[in-house]
Structure 1
Amino acid sequence: MLKHIKKITTVTVIGASLMLPLEVAHAQATPAEISALQVQMKALQAQIDALTSQQQATQKEVAAVGENVVTRTPSGDLLIGETTLSIGGYIKAQATVANNGFSDGKANEIVTPGSLRSVNTDQGSRTSMSARQSRFNIGTSTPVYGDTLKTFVELDFYGADDEANEFVSNSYAPRLRHAYGSWGKWLAGQTWSTFMDLNGMGEVDAFGQHASVIFVRQAQLRYTQPFAGGSLQFALENPEDGGDDQSLPDIIGRVNFDGSWGHASVAALARKLSLDDGTEKDSKWGDAYSVTGRFPTFGKDDIRLQANYGNLGRYMGLRAYPDALTENGEIDDVNAWGVSAIYRHHWTDSLRSSLAYSRSGLDSPGTANMTDSYDTAFVNLMWSPIANTTLGVEYQRFDLEEVDGDSFDLDRVQFSTRYDF
């Protein structure tokens, strides 16, 4: 359209410029003819002005449309106006072979202290294949009032499986993992607990399943204050002690230190444990502490360390230990401890292994069927032959002993193929 306008304008102006001197050169104009010519010139100028205004309006429209054109950022995300839209996740297929049978089917995929107690040593090995760990996420980033507004939502397929079966469709339900927004130093929504440090977790195929891991996602309001070489975080998070009687949120503080030397972090948790069944009422404050570190060693290798102590309950080891015990109308906290070490070695740029050991133990009086100690060990080989692809094989060992002396153990080998997008 712009080319067409320019063409009309150019032709009209050139035509007028050529015709005027020709007429003047070959004839002596009368006053009436000169007056008529002046009228024609004014009309011609009006047409030129109208075309110029139309051209300017069209240019503004094109510029406005250009602001909302979808383009790509250097990282491959989509830029829509001022909002960057990122789409990610991965497809993960995994197969496990366990040395014993178990009545809890989820132990095929995620071993928890609860599912480990369902192991039946009288039964033979079991094989299971699944793609439920596959996940999908969407994130946005938009400049708002001098800062950046970010949102993030992620789903996997470990939701309720009441309607699922392995006979026909394996129709496992989606499950909410993350759903939060952040602006500047504030974050609100569901994501990893502030008491949890991802740097304390290694590249283990049994993700989040080692005995002393702090592993919780929950709703929260978090404030982060960066400083030179780290950050300070404070959060109010969803409370839960098994009775759903809580009157106050869990209170968490964390300080992170980062540098070329690695990463170190210290966190503290304060929580009010409550008993309120309509008849008996009691409450008690509990506290817990966590120290994590990730340090480079040789070449691309690194070691990750974690130590936890206190009223950890559901925060540690996929709830290996209860949050509280109630007796005679009184509530009391349960203390436990946990330590872990994970070393990752790079054989080549694309081939690496992780060796992980984790142990936790009870540090309070316990009842007969409570966990007294819980141990896990993992060793794997991970290969990334091409971009966004990882093939893995991992040996996994789980050992749990109860206060009354009963013990449960499981040996498992897991194979996995993961495609990131």
Structure 2
Amino acid sequence: MDGRVWGTRASLCVLVSFVALISTDALAADLSSPNIPDDREVVNVLPDGSLQIGAVNLKLGGFSELATFWRSRNETADVGSSFAGIPFGNDPRHYEHETRFSARQSRIAALASGDMDEYTHLAAYIEADFLGAGTTSNSVESNSYAPRIRHFYGTLDDDRWGLHILAGQTWSLLTTNTEGIKARNEQIPLTIDAQYVVGFNWTRNPQIRIVKTFSPMISAGISVESPQTVIAGQTPGGVPINANNPGGPLLNSGASYSNDIMPDVVAKIAFDPGWGHYELKGVVRGFTDRADHDNRTTIAGGGGASATIPLIPKYLEIQGSFLAGNGIGRYGSGQMADVTFNEDGSFAAIPEIQALAGIVAHPGKGTDLYAYGGLEEATKTVDGAAGYGLASLNNTGCEIEDDPASLCQGVNKRLWEVTAGVWHDIYNGHFGRAAIGAQGQYVKREAFEGVGGAPSTDEAIVMTSFRYYPFK
């Protein structure tokens, strides 16, 4: 096991050295570039609305949003739903509705880019919203919530070599693209819900990514990404375990962080044959805890594919993706568990499948219709009296209001969802774009069989949105 870990570390050193070497050569390519303007040409406003500041082009982006949402169960959540946390019948919130307004998904964005020569391009992109929550955040009199980073990364693109390097925080390489493997062209569901759809594969986290474009039809990439593990299930009795720790300096002291020994390593090949877009992808992960005074590491991962097919080009397309493997829960919108415990205290990676299907129509200019169906399902993972999905769990009180939590120990087996909605431009012109949207969701949460049965719950959600995009 130590050999595999040291092998991973050696691979990372080689990758980082390779990135540094390429970046140094590119930056050395030069301060005497003919693209550097005369000092007198400091700031220009270009016809597309961007600013040319010296040799750097600056484009602004983002939108303001007012979102409204109603849920048939009270999740006590903002515009991002908790699919895996829909309350069972023992929780009074199961019988309550929830209505909220939110402006927190509003975004600000900027792209700065410069061409060192006709082949070499540098860029930095930042995007932020206001879905962070500090210790004093509340909704009583003033909505005192915090900005948060969605994306913040730099890129180096070399057209001669078809080489693209990205370093910073953005979508995981596992997230499906619309074309090739390019930043800012990810195929994100059109939902108003900030948690998107059950079955959608994504994270947004720090990473180093290298992509090679072999031809207009074939691209391949590899990314090393910041790890984090979702842990659940019954721990073994009598075995001391350290698997999570509260945050230290510059981390959230109120949150728990897993003991990760290696980054997630993601690889992908994309095909664009001229009709549709297709991907093959996979991820390798390492899970570590300290059990019975010994460090234990488990290697796991999974693989999958995705496709986007234009049934009627520019008018109707279908989308589909799936991911299957062990320890992949983190990469689904439902946030199912990655690992549970063996009897010796070591981690056992939980087998899971994630799938998403969608159809998007553009019946008229400025109108988008969409429908998605998604599934995330875990497999029972049990070792003696430890594990995930134990038949001995007490579920007798899951349908009885105000029963203590100890009488509703059900753990998630399956999540599925169907969602449909519409976006329509009410203005699109010189002053930007204004759009309204509406969607309906139905989500089902099902638990493993235990003493007293297999509890389940469901939820209906209705959302609306008004957005203004001043910079198109």
What band does the TM-score fall into relative to the shorter chain? 0.7 to 0.9
Alignment of 1:266-281 (within 5 A): 266-276=280-290, 279-281=293-295
Cα deviation, residue 302, structure 1: 0.8
Cα deviation, residue 323, structure 1: 3.5
- Aligned counterpart in structure 1 of residue 73 of structure 2, from 66, 84, 100: 100
1:196 aligns with 2:175: yes
1:313 aligns with 2:286: no
Q: Which has the higher contact order (CA 8 A, sep 6+)?
A: 2
Which residue identity does 1:167 align to in structure 2?
A: V
Q: Which residue of 2 aligns with 1:372?
A: 413
Alignment of 1:233-382 (within 5 A): 233-242=221-230, 243=243, 244-276=258-290, 279-299=293-313, 300-311=315-326, 312-365=328-381, 366-367=388-389, 368=393, 369-382=410-423
Larger radius of gyration: 1
Which residue identity does 1:417 align to in structure 2?
A: F
Q: Which residue of 1 aligns with 2:439?
A: 394
Which residue identity does 2:46 align to in structure 1?
A: T
Which residue identity does 2:86 align to in structure 1?
A: L
Cα deviation, residue 120, structure 1: 4.3
Task: Give 3-state SS (helix, strand or coil) of 1:314's partner.
Answer: helix
- Asked if 1 retains the 8 angstrom alpha-carbon contact of 2:227 and 2:260, the reply is yes
Could you say if the C-alpha distance between residues 259 and 390 of structure 1 is closer, same or farther in structure 2, counting changes exceeding 3 Å? farther
Alignment of 1:169-248 (within 5 A): 169-184=142-157, 185-199=164-178, 201-228=188-215, 229-242=217-230, 243=243, 244-248=258-262
Alignment of 1:117-196 (within 5 A): 117=87, 120=92, 123-144=95-116, 147-184=120-157, 185-196=164-175
Cα deviation, residue 386, structure 1: 1.4
Question: For each residue in 1:385-415, what CA deviation from the matched residue of structure 2 results, as whole angstroms up to 9, or x when unmatched?
Answer: 2112221111111111111312121101101
Structure 1, gaps ≥5 residues long:
1-62
Cα deviation, residue 114, structure 1: 4.2
Could you say if the C-alpha distance between residues 323 and 136 of structure 1 is closer, same or farther in structure 2, counting changes exceeding 3 Å? farther
Cα deviation, residue 64, structure 1: 4.1
User: CA separation in 1, counterparts of 2:366 and 2:115?
Assistant: 37
Report which stretch shifted further, 114-123 or 168-177: 114-123
User: CA separation in 1, counterparts of 2:369 and 2:79?
Assistant: 21
User: CA separation in 2, counterparts of 1:98 and 1:270?
Assistant: 37
Question: For each residue in 1:12-56, what CA deviation from the matched residue of structure 2 results, as whole angstroms up to 9, or x when unmatched?
Answer: xxxxxxxxxxxxxxxxxxxxxxxxxxxxxxxxxxxxxxxxxxxxx
User: CA separation in 2, counterparts of 1:122 and 1:188?
Assistant: 43
Could you say if the C-alpha distance between residues 90 and 172 of structure 1 is closer, same or farther in structure 2, counting changes exceeding 3 Å? same
User: Identity over aligned residues, as a percent?
Assistant: 22
Q: What is the Cα-based RMSD across aligned positions, in Å?
A: 2.1
Question: For each residue in 1:185-233, what CA deviation from the matched residue of structure 2 results, as whole angstroms up to 9, or x when unmatched?
Answer: 2111111111222445432222443111112011111101012113110
Could you say if the C-alpha distance between residues 113 and 352 of structure 1 is closer, same or farther in structure 2, counting changes exceeding 3 Å? closer
- Asked if 1 retains the 8 angstrom alpha-carbon contact of 2:84 and 2:415, the reply is no
Question: For each residue in 1:295-351, what CA deviation from the matched residue of structure 2 results, as whole angstroms up to 9, or x when unmatched?
Answer: 111251111101110121211124123334343222211110021111112232222
User: CA separation in 1, counterparts of 2:366 and 2:62?
Assistant: 21
Q: TM-score if structure 2 supplies the norm length?
A: 0.71
Q: TM-score if structure 1 supplies the norm length?
A: 0.79
Which residue identity does 1:149 align to in structure 2?
A: L
- Asked if 2 retains the 8 angstrom alpha-carbon contact of 1:221 and 1:237, the reply is yes
User: CA separation in 1, counterparts of 2:47 and 2:272?
Assistant: 27
Q: Which residue of 2 aligns with 1:416?
A: 465
User: CA separation in 2, counterparts of 1:261 and 1:207?
Assistant: 30
User: CA separation in 2, counterparts of 1:364 and 1:278?
Assistant: 24
Question: For each residue in 1:122-143, what CA deviation from the matched residue of structure 2 results, as whole angstroms up to 9, or x when unmatched?
Answer: 5332211000100111221022
- Asked if 2 retains the 8 angstrom alpha-carbon contact of 1:281 and 1:329, the reply is no
Task: Give 3-state SS (helix, strand or coil) of 1:101's partner.
Answer: coil
Q: Which residue of 2 aligns with 1:54?
A: none
Alignment of 1:22-37 (within 5 A): none
Structure 2, gaps ≥5 residues long:
1-36, 158-163, 179-186, 231-242, 244-257, 382-387, 394-409
How many residue pairs get aligned? The number is 355
Report which stretch shifted further, 193-202 or 165-174: 193-202
